[in-house]
Amino acid sequence: MVNWKTTLSGFVTGFPIAIDALVTAYQSGMFDEKSGMQLMLGIGLVLIGAYSKDHNVTHSDTLQTRRKLRF
């Protein structure tokens, strides 16, 4: 988790999509092409949110910080 705001937005966006895919697959008894793709989309959105960072957040382990420490 890089930033709580992007993680929360990815979770809020992707979680309902993934849950809807799981419910649809459960009701029909199997994953079809639509519900499988919908599940992958939901999981992808959650992961993108979890590994993204805000535009105004910097971390101490950036390349610029490492360069400054060497000189």
Q: How many domains does the chain have?
A: 1
Q: Which domain holds residue 13?
A: 4-70
The two three-digit tokens of residue 63, written as one number: 């390349």
Which residue is it, tokens 């979680």? 15
d(CA 33, CA 54): 34
The pLDDT of residue 53 is: 74
d(CA 26, CA 46): 21
The pLDDT of residue 6 is: 87
pTM of the model: 0.69
Output the tens digit of pLDDT for each of the chain's 71 residues. Answer: 677 888 899 999 999 999 999 999 999 999 898 899 999 999 999 999 888 877 666 655 555 555 555 55
d(CA 26, CA 11): 22
The two three-digit tokens of residue 55, written as one number: 């535009």
